[in-house]
Structure 1
Amino acid sequence: MSAHMSLPKRLRYTVDLGLGETALSHASRTGALYGLDLGTFCADLRASAVSLAHGEEAALARLAATAGANLESLRRFALKREQPQGEAQVFSLNGQGLRPMSLCRSRVRVCLACLAEDLDSSGAPDRLRPYGRAAWMLASVRACARHGFTLTCLPAPDERPGVPDFAAVVQANWATITAGRIKGEELPASPFEAYLLARIWGDAPPVPMLDGLPWYAVARACEMMGAVSLHGPRVRRSRLSERQWREAGDEGYRIAVAGDEAFTDLLTRLHTQVRAVEDGKPRRKVGRFYEWLSSEEKDPAYAPIRDRIASHLIATTAVGPGDEIFGKPVTARRMHSVHTLSQETGEHPKRLRKLLLRQGLIDEDSRDLSDDQVVFPVGATASLALEVTGALSLKRAGHYLNAPRVQMTLLHEAGLIRPLAGKGSDLRPVFARAELDGFLARLLGDAEPVTVPMEGMATVPMEGMATIPEAAKRANCSAQEIVAAILERSLGFIGQRTGTRGYLSVLVNVEEVRAAVRRPDHGSLSLRDVERRLGVHTSAVQGLIAGGHLASEVAVNPVNRCPQTVVTEVEMTRFESETVTLSRLARERHQSREALRRMLAARGIKPAIVIEAAKRTLLFRRDAVPT
């Protein structure tokens, strides 16, 4: 049967659709019945193998009509490609959401015991009796639920990429499938895999921690929880075997079924185990589990797990304003450590330990712990009498103003806050409280109160507001320039966020700041502008400049203030009047590029400039080209 012939609406001879069989497997076996490979059969079917692999409705309907299969069964066990979510590919199987990492699609994965059972069935030639199950595509299901044997990847008869041809792979491995009825390695029953399969087929038991997650997130979250639980917070994921990943999935599922208490116990164990490592950042608290969730930050499916970890860290570790957990700033502190309290008050950690021990806020066992590891509730320090009197050092002045250390240094170096004369030294300035109070009064003199969340503001939209440090980053300027603009009252809007004190409560309009600090435009063309104007690639412009064909110079970008290579308008006009690319010349003459090139070559007109690095970009002198 030729690949160019159309198949009849219903084939005379067909194979029965197996229980749980995929559309690809059924198409492969039906084609093999007529001596066709999968690609040829799909061409005759007028539905590509990829469309069957993606569960496209038209392809499934044609297969059902031609092979006499039940369309509803094909739909249920077909992998369906859904609309992508951002940059992520999305699939579904019987309505359960999957991702590419959830699937094993490029190779034929089977249970040899199931194939042995298929050989005992009837209704088709013996080599066409084995069929592929949908469950075998699930990467986190590593054993056959029916027989308790590991799933085996059968080598393909060739290594060509594309959709695997199930019948051809079975044929190539026939000796392995039939010799002694090999069944594979025995594996114990897996509650995790049983739950995953139950989620697919619609009869899963309720697990509150997992019920709200899509299938792929359940599979990966359980495996990652189990991996750090069994192998520690610094586990190397690439070194785990398939059996170890299976054990990790069971362990993670056990934790999820046990609920919040077991999950909290896991986080506590991880935190305890990483104490010997640098412990100053939230990402260090739970090791690889935190790092993995951070890498999945754009996927909202994992948000419930991230929220649980964030709540645990805020309740048990010394994180607070200035820290971030999964990219979100911590707004309130519930626990202090000796280190954070020292930073906040400016007191030496040794003195703080003595005061905390004297008042019974920490015990003697904490003597051997580092300053980061000694934690206690924030409320417990309310009665702690700290001697914070007299002039303030730069660090303590920063705490007093609620300004980060870098911001304090910038303000001091710019002369916006003045140290006490005659006290301290140039290296260790000290500041009077009256000077700091006066600076804040000038900064916030005309500030408009802004409540959080920043709603109902007619003066400036919510997304346009930013603190001084954030506005400096977004406007590509220094904090000193913004503070100077505020003090000079050259900005139309100045806000003060309620619930936040001092320097970090000041809000400005980023667009106003950009306009206020923008430098004069250099008036030349950026290399990107040159690319668009000439209609060539970046490498072509670089080649023109490097070859001395197009003069360039360095100017300061008015927005980001970085040096950039530019081409003046005069030079650009000269170059365009003297030279022209082959592509532009073809467009001007309404000819194809190749036809024009052959015509010029026939007349002996050679390119004046050839840029080899840019896919052989050709430029001709305009006066050399006949009109």
Structure 2
Amino acid sequence: MGREQVEDQGQERHQIWSTSSMNRLSEIINFNAGESVASYCSRLAAACGYRHARSFGADLGFRFQGLAVGCNDDIEKFRSVVGVPTSFLAPGIISSDNRFSLVAGQLLSRASVQRQRLRFCPYCVLGDECQKGGRRGFRSFGRVDWLVKSIRCCEDHRVQLMTCDKDPPPVFIHDFAANLAQLGDVRRMLSDVEFMKPDRLQRYVKERLRGKQTEAAWLDSLPLYVAVRLCETVGVAERHGTQFHTSNINEHEWSACAGAGYDLLRGGEQDFRHYLRRQVKCFYGKLSDMGGRSIFGRLYERLAHETEDKAFDPIRQIMRDVALDSLPLGPGDEFFGPVTERRLHSVQSASVEFGVHPKRLRKTLVNEGLIPSEDKSKTFERILLDAKTMQRFALVAKSSLNVPDAKKYLGAERVQFEMLVKHGFIQPVGGNGASAEVAVDRRFSPDDLDNLLRRLKAADTRADNNGLSDLREIMSKAGCTFAEVIELVLSGTLAKVSWVAGETGLAAIRLDADEIKAKTIGDDHGCFSLRQLETVIPASGKIIKALVEGGHLPSVKRRNPVKRNMQTVVEPSALEAFMNQYLSLGNFATSRRTRTWNLKRDLDHAGIAPIFVAAEMPFYRRSDIERF
């Protein structure tokens, strides 16, 4: 056929479609629910004898490519040609640019749709010819759902959607009917069908494409392609580890991963945060280097390095927030942008910032109870503490003094210094030597030492020190202990206290020996010691201790007249009141010359219950058992 003949036929065909017969196009082939406009046009072109839809559109004055990507002008021309309103075609219109497609009002990225290769369910294709209307041979239509990659199977037939192996020639792109015709008899493909159940993410995607309300409100707030990508990535990481390789995952496994990811995230943002925190916890149980990729794996890599899409910013912000709450990140670090605040410090980061050796810092933190003892086996960068607490403690540790410097600072002799520590007048920073959970050289905070000196200095009552003695002489003359003297000075009750100019700390204190002796030699307090009560009540030491600690037997603190130490005693009046009101089962049994268990049984039968129990010994109200 010559070129002139082809042009004549084209003009003749255009004249034919320009007549009223074009209004009958919609009667030749039905536009089905769920069908794309490109598929409808493709089937019309094939039914009218065209090899491809592009020449069909060219003859009728619209561009098939424009129709496939949602160009308004081409859609309007096609609508006019077919003779239907735009609203009739609206559900099947897919608007696309180089990056995104708008499908049923949902935004999908180029990677989340398959528009180049034919993708279909062979059972649906064969069933359309039997069940749908319109000209035979052209009833099979392309569903919008088949273009969405996260919809992996046909829910009606429970089979995996089939995708052609190769991209079609440019003239056949989007041309469903033409591409389907190239396959030949679809029945031959049924032997290659793989059965597959729809995953929960697929059902979620279909609900959004149908405009339905879903159970996943937080995922609904994200563009559909972001929600899908997040669920799939989280699901793969959950099933294959954070450093997964997609090349090892087939469609069936992708479906399982998609469903797993959706189940993890459908509860909302808090579920996503919980997942991220779980990844952080898992990371801290390993020995890998710290970093976004080491902790969050491919999810971090994709968002940090493989896409700059702003639609993923809400995900990045959540990951950044969890990272700042879980990792020792601070100014100078990067995590989806420069880090400008610090919420956590590690021993390593605090060591670098504040100039404290990490080993000493770790030991003192354990001894102070600021971190668990099991952390002492962790590496420095994995031992964490909130930034403010760590800074405060690290600065104290840095400025702390060793024992020789602390003794010199206080002006204390060796024994005096040890007594100050033993009796709690000063506290070591991070552990008291060998008695600490982790052995560490004792160091002392200058602020703690200054506080003790200020309290001692506040007791100064006179400028001259005539007739007064230093601490060593006082202890010898008064026959008291060093701790007693310091307690008296700190109490502020001494009338004669002086500080010698030119001396430092404790060496400068001068006291009156007679005053100290008078205050340290105590009178007989006339109370019962706990040991004496064992005979008076009588009861075992264990029971006496339980009565006092439980508040049943009121006690007071009195100074032992001999040892001059404070001891717990019971005043006679309190003991008398107790003895008049209560009686133990053991003493009651002794008075009746019977066994305690026999007596307990009789009391129970009589309906008399104990008032309280001390060290497993029941006590009864005397008024209750008198009638017994």
Q: TM-score range by the shorter chain?
A: 0.5 to 0.7
- Alpha-carbon distance in structure 2 between the residues aligned to 1:69 and 1:157: 32
1:363 alignment partner, one of 344, 351, 372: 372
Kindly report which structure 2 residues correspond to 1:145-164, keeping only aligned pairs within 5 A, or say none.
145-154=155-164, 159-160=169-170, 163-164=173-174
Instruction: Give SS of 1:124's match.
Output: coil
Instruction: Give SS of 2:308's match.
Output: coil
- Alpha-carbon distance in structure 2 between the residues aligned to 1:379 and 1:311: 18
- Alpha-carbon distance in structure 1 between the residues aligned to 2:119 and 2:157: 15
Equivalent position of 1:248 in the other structure: 257
Instruction: Give SS of 1:262's match.
Output: helix
Kindly report which structure 2 residues correspond to 1:378-417, keeping only aligned pairs within 5 A, or say none.
378-381=387-390, 382-383=392-393, 385-388=396-399
Equivalent position of 1:330 in the other structure: 339
Contact 2:330–2:339 at 8 Å: present in 1 too?
Answer: yes
- Alpha-carbon distance in structure 2 between the residues aligned to 1:341 and 1:259: 35
- Superposition deviation, residue 366 in structure 1: 1.9
Unaligned 5+ residue runs, structure 1? 83-87, 391-627
Using a 3 Å threshold, how does the CA distance of structure 1 residues 204 and 145 change in structure 2: closer, same or farther? farther
Instruction: Give SS of 2:380's match.
Output: coil
Give the AA of the match of 1:33.
A
Contact 1:131–1:166 at 8 Å: present in 2 too?
Answer: yes
Give the AA of the match of 1:134.
V
Give the AA of the match of 1:73.
F
Using a 3 Å threshold, how does the CA distance of structure 1 residues 310 and 128 change in structure 2: closer, same or farther? same
Q: Please say if 1:321 is aligned against 2:335.
A: no
Equivalent position of 1:93 in the other structure: 103
Equivalent position of 1:569 in the other structure: none
Equivalent position of 1:55 in the other structure: 70
Equivalent position of 1:22 in the other structure: 36
Contact 1:336–1:378 at 8 Å: present in 2 too?
Answer: yes
- Alpha-carbon distance in structure 2 between the residues aligned to 1:72 and 1:331: 51
Equivalent position of 1:511 in the other structure: none
Q: Please say if 1:312 is aligned against 2:322.
A: yes
- Alpha-carbon distance in structure 2 between the residues aligned to 1:125 and 1:158: 25
- Superposition deviation, residue 79 in structure 1: 0.9
Equivalent position of 2:96 in the other structure: 81
- Superposition deviation, residue 359 in structure 1: 0.8
Superposition RMSD in Å = 2.6
- Superposition deviation, residue 20 in structure 1: 1.2
Using a 3 Å threshold, how does the CA distance of structure 1 residues 355 and 196 change in structure 2: closer, same or farther? same
Using a 3 Å threshold, how does the CA distance of structure 1 residues 24 and 128 change in structure 2: closer, same or farther? same
1:43 alignment partner, one of 58, 74, 78: 58
Instruction: Give SS of 1:258's match.
Output: coil
Give the AA of the match of 2:55.
T
Contact 1:145–1:194 at 8 Å: present in 2 too?
Answer: no
- Alpha-carbon distance in structure 2 between the residues aligned to 1:122 and 1:335: 64
- Alpha-carbon distance in structure 2 between the residues aligned to 1:70 and 1:187: 38
- Give CA deviations for 1:356-411 in whole Å, capped at 9, x if unaligned: 11112222322332111111222433345313489xxxxxxxxxxxxxxxxxxxxx
- Superposition deviation, residue 90 in structure 1: 2.8
Using a 3 Å threshold, how does the CA distance of structure 1 residues 157 and 180 change in structure 2: closer, same or farther? closer
Give the AA of the match of 1:364.
S
Contact 1:195–1:204 at 8 Å: present in 2 too?
Answer: no
Contact 1:154–1:169 at 8 Å: present in 2 too?
Answer: no
- Superposition deviation, residue 54 in structure 1: 0.8
Using a 3 Å threshold, how does the CA distance of structure 1 residues 282 and 346 change in structure 2: closer, same or farther? farther
- Superposition deviation, residue 125 in structure 1: 3.9
Contact 1:33–1:128 at 8 Å: present in 2 too?
Answer: yes
- Superposition deviation, residue 277 in structure 1: 5.5
Give the AA of the match of 2:89.
L
Q: Please say if 1:32 is aligned against 2:42.
A: no
2:207 alignment partner, one of 191, 198, 212: 198
1:66 alignment partner, one of 81, 86, 91: 81
- Alpha-carbon distance in structure 1 between the residues aligned to 2:166 and 2:23: 28
- Superposition deviation, residue 62 in structure 1: 2.5
- Superposition deviation, residue 156 in structure 1: 6.8
1:102 alignment partner, one of 102, 106, 112: 112
- Alpha-carbon distance in structure 1 between the residues aligned to 2:307 and 2:133: 51
Give the AA of the match of 2:271.
A
- Alpha-carbon distance in structure 2 between the residues aligned to 1:249 and 1:287: 17
- Alpha-carbon distance in structure 2 between the residues aligned to 1:181 and 1:11: 38
Identity rate, percent: 28
- Superposition deviation, residue 18 in structure 1: 1.7
- Superposition deviation, residue 273 in structure 1: 4.0
More helix by share: 2
Contact 2:39–2:176 at 8 Å: present in 1 too?
Answer: yes
Contact 1:156–1:169 at 8 Å: present in 2 too?
Answer: no
1:257 alignment partner, one of 258, 262, 266: 266
Kindly report which structure 2 residues correspond to 1:294-305, keeping only aligned pairs within 5 A, or say none.
294-295=304-305, 298-305=308-315
- Superposition deviation, residue 245 in structure 1: 2.3
- Alpha-carbon distance in structure 2 between the residues aligned to 1:61 and 1:98: 24
Contact 1:78–1:134 at 8 Å: present in 2 too?
Answer: no
- Superposition deviation, residue 57 in structure 1: 2.0
- Superposition deviation, residue 320 in structure 1: 1.5
Instruction: Give SS of 2:95's match.
Output: strand
Instruction: Give SS of 1:357's match.
Output: helix
Equivalent position of 1:118 in the other structure: 128
- Give CA deviations for 1:195-249 in whole Å, capped at 9, x if unaligned: 1111122003142321221111111111112121221111123432222222222
Kindly report which structure 2 residues correspond to 1:110-189, keeping only aligned pairs within 5 A, or say none.
110-154=120-164, 159-160=169-170, 163-175=173-185, 177-179=186-188, 184-189=193-198
Using a 3 Å threshold, how does the CA distance of structure 1 residues 318 and 122 change in structure 2: closer, same or farther? closer
- Superposition deviation, residue 33 in structure 1: 1.2
Using a 3 Å threshold, how does the CA distance of structure 1 residues 151 and 387 change in structure 2: closer, same or farther? same
- Alpha-carbon distance in structure 1 between the residues aligned to 2:310 and 2:262: 21
Give the AA of the match of 1:26.
Y
- Alpha-carbon distance in structure 2 between the residues aligned to 1:297 and 1:22: 29
- Superposition deviation, residue 147 in structure 1: 2.7
- Alpha-carbon distance in structure 1 between the residues aligned to 2:305 and 2:319: 15
Equivalent position of 1:605 in the other structure: none
- Superposition deviation, residue 317 in structure 1: 1.4
Equivalent position of 2:299 in the other structure: 289
In the superposition, the TM-score normalised over structure 2's length comes to 0.57
- Superposition deviation, residue 69 in structure 1: 4.9
- Alpha-carbon distance in structure 2 between the residues aligned to 1:264 and 1:156: 41
- Alpha-carbon distance in structure 2 between the residues aligned to 1:145 and 1:60: 30
Give the AA of the match of 1:234.
Q
Give the AA of the match of 2:151.
V
Using a 3 Å threshold, how does the CA distance of structure 1 residues 223 and 3 change in structure 2: closer, same or farther? farther
Contact 2:116–2:168 at 8 Å: present in 1 too?
Answer: no
Contact 1:310–1:325 at 8 Å: present in 2 too?
Answer: yes
Equivalent position of 1:228 in the other structure: 237
Kindly report which structure 2 residues correspond to 1:486-565, keeping only aligned pairs within 5 A, or say none.
none
Q: Please say if 1:279 is aligned against 2:279.
A: no
Using a 3 Å threshold, how does the CA distance of structure 1 residues 167 and 309 change in structure 2: closer, same or farther? same
Instruction: Give SS of 1:196's match.
Output: helix
Contact 1:319–1:335 at 8 Å: present in 2 too?
Answer: yes
Give the AA of the match of 1:74.
L
Contact 1:157–1:169 at 8 Å: present in 2 too?
Answer: no
Contact 2:117–2:167 at 8 Å: present in 1 too?
Answer: no
Give the AA of the match of 2:124.
C
- Superposition deviation, residue 120 in structure 1: 0.9
- Alpha-carbon distance in structure 1 between the residues aligned to 2:320 and 2:166: 46
Instruction: Give SS of 2:280's match.
Output: helix
- Alpha-carbon distance in structure 2 between the residues aligned to 1:213 and 1:261: 15
Contact 1:233–1:273 at 8 Å: present in 2 too?
Answer: no
In the superposition, the TM-score normalised over structure 1's length comes to 0.57
- Superposition deviation, residue 343 in structure 1: 0.8
Using a 3 Å threshold, how does the CA distance of structure 1 residues 75 and 269 change in structure 2: closer, same or farther? same
Give the AA of the match of 1:118.
D
Q: Please say if 1:345 is aligned against 2:359.
A: no
Using a 3 Å threshold, how does the CA distance of structure 1 residues 73 and 225 change in structure 2: closer, same or farther? farther
- Superposition deviation, residue 106 in structure 1: 0.4
- Alpha-carbon distance in structure 2 between the residues aligned to 1:140 and 1:331: 38
Using a 3 Å threshold, how does the CA distance of structure 1 residues 195 and 81 change in structure 2: closer, same or farther? same
